[in-house]
Amino acid sequence: MYETRYEKLLPAREFAMRVFQQGGIVVVTVAVALTIGVLGYHFFSGLPWLDALLDASMILGGMGPVNPIVTPAAKLFASFYALFSGLFFIVATGMLLAPFLHRMIHRFHLDKKGIDE
């Protein structure tokens, strides 16, 4: 997916396309994760759709639930969804930063190439 250290630095236009592709993947996975949360809060907690969306959005965003959770099944779902959301946030951040970090490290290797050879 990324160029090796022996290849030239990616042109700005192609780099921008890579960033947009990574961002698109993150947007799609956020939508899937939010859908899982909305469905879970709706069916396990019995929340109306809008309240389920609010709770799922707040958990996925790292804020916390808004509505009280009363049933054991809903509490289990909320626990697993909160853990999933925390890990998901880390992965999504890594996916968004990866192109920039790779480009920075690749640029350092290009500068060092003349010294090694």
Name the band, by pLDDT with cuts 50, 70 and 90, for residue 115: very low
Per cent of the chain over pLDDT 90 is 69
What's the alpha-carbon Rg for the chain, to the nearest Å?
20
Q: Could you tell me the sign of the dihedral formed by the alpha carbons of 79, 71, 38, 43, in that order?
A: positive
Q: What is the pTM of this model?
A: 0.81
Please determine, for residue 25, whether its predicted confidence score (pLDDT) is greater than 90: yes
DSSP states along the chain: -PPPTTSPPPPHHHHHHHHHHHHHHHHHHHHHHHHHHHHHHHHHH---HHHHHHHHHHHHTTS--SS---SHHHHHHHHHHHHHHHHHHHHHHHHHHHHHHHHHHHHHHHHHHHHH-
- Token pair for residue 34? 């939010």
Question: Which pLDDT value is given to residue 113?
Answer: 53
pLDDT of 97 strictly over 60? yes
Domains assigned to the chain: 15-112 (1.10.287.70)
Distance CA 56, CA 40 (A): 9
